[in-house]
Amino acid sequence: MRNRHRLLHICFVFYQLIIFSSPAKSDDSIIERFRAYLQIDTSQPNPDYTNASKFILAQAEALSLESQTLEFAKNKPLILLKWPGSNPQLPSILLNSHTDVVPSEPSKWSHHPFGAHLDSQGNIFARGSQDMKCVGMQYLEAIRRLKASGFQPVRSVYLSFVPDEEIGGHDGAEKFADSHVFNSLNVGIVLDEGLASTTEDYRAFYAERCPWWLVIKARGAPGHGAKLYDNSAMENLFKSIESVRRFRASQFDLVKAGLKAEGEVVSVNMAFLKAGTPSPNGFVMNLQPSEAEAGFDIRVPPTTDAESLERRIVEEWAPASRNMTFELGQFKQRASLHDKFGRPILTATDSSNPWWNLLEEAVRKANGKLGKPEIFPASTDARYFRERGLPAIGFSPMANTPILLHDHNEFLNQAEYLKGIDIYESIIKAYASYVQHSKDEASRDEL
């Protein structure tokens, strides 16, 4: 009887081991960790960086990763994790993600934006599910798998969880990239965020459009609301707006015709229009104002002829002949199209860049496929690393997924999230195993 009882106990323990080590159970834990991260409200303008940091540091401790918390600005922690490589002399790998997310309007969501609701189809609804808490957690889960398999990286792998990307990254990635801490990491390649793909092919980005935020002002003599005369401030401003509109249409036509991707054209969108003489009841209706201004969000690919665009702005959009000026005589924000060495801010996507080749092969080995490399249509933290002359690739492994970043009802399907972990496991393994010292690395070391 005693032997029979012992046999039953052994069978029961064996059964438990099978259940708790089964893929389904493991996947459940992975999804629960992802949902827990999504449930931390890190939306601007008051992100809960404290609890986000605690969560990330707890994950790092569970994975036996080295960690440090940096503050380049007060109350804006940047978490830096390290998986040491066996050859620390080789340039390292940096896996970057941001912890903050954009605001949301809960009344316009089908589920609470920080509830991380999992529906019957496996869709996880949450702000940050695509942009980009998914990627930060996929890095960690991929490392969890690699460690469990006994893999030891040759190159050191760093993970940075940075604040404030959604408001420009000036207190996060920008200060990090310019710091002595970053210089000491000896980074050779940076991975950052990309976009979801509505097709089976993953999207990868080798550059991004640079923001040129411009405010132009028109001046003219004030006049009676009934008077017709030339060169009023409003008339001059609307001439400029019409000129901008025609240029915008010409660029958009290239996209509509399939001749260029969105990231390859200059986009111009009016952000605000300011004019009129205020009154207690609104605006004075019988007075034409002496000043009017408009703000434009211009996004410029690094392949653009910057001098030609500047001439267009000076001669067509805000000519002095129409009493047009730039606010303070300059752009409100103008990102450079060149890195600190005078080169276009582009990451090579050919045989000259071994990191690109490794990425393509790693994705293929994980049963994925990359589409044609693209220029990111907006801005990410990757630009701060490219400005230093480093290769940086934007990549978020989300295929067959609607693009919902910054939109209502942002979601990511759990199956797609899990597949993304497979992809990153393959990429990190390939990058961390790469031992050949490339010409690019040698040139960077000399600089």
Span 152-191, pLDDT tens digits: 999 999 999 999 999 999 999 999 999 999 999 999 999 9
- Inter-CA distances, 132 with 265, 314, 351, Å: 25, 38, 29
Question: Domain 23-207+339-446 maps to which CATH number in 3.40.50.720, 3.30.470.20, 3.40.50.970, 3.40.630.10?
Answer: 3.40.630.10
pTM: 0.85
Would you state the pLDDT for residue 21? 41
406 labelled binding-site residue? yes
98 labelled binding-site residue? yes
Collect the ranges in the chain with pLDDT lower than 50.
1-2, 4-5, 7-24, 328-331, 438-440, 443, 445-447
131 labelled binding-site residue? yes
Would you state the pLDDT for residue 24? 44
Active-site residue flag, 165: yes
The tens digit of pLDDT for each residue in 351-370 reads 999 999 999 999 999 999 99
Residue 235 near residue 227, CB atoms below 8 Å: no
166 labelled binding-site residue? yes
Active-site residue flag, 100: yes
CATH class of the structural domain 210-300+303-334? alpha beta
Q: Which of 28, 41, 71, 100 is catalytic?
A: 100
Indicate the helix (H) or strand (E) that contains 273: strand 267-275
Give me the residue spans of the domains in the chain: 23-207+339-446, 210-300+303-334
DSSP one-letter string for 161-204: EES-GGGTSTTTHHHHHTSHHHHHH-EEEEEE-----SSSSBPE
Would you state the pLDDT for residue 340? 84
Q: Which of 164, 165, 192, 381 is catalytic?
A: 165
71 labelled binding-site residue? no
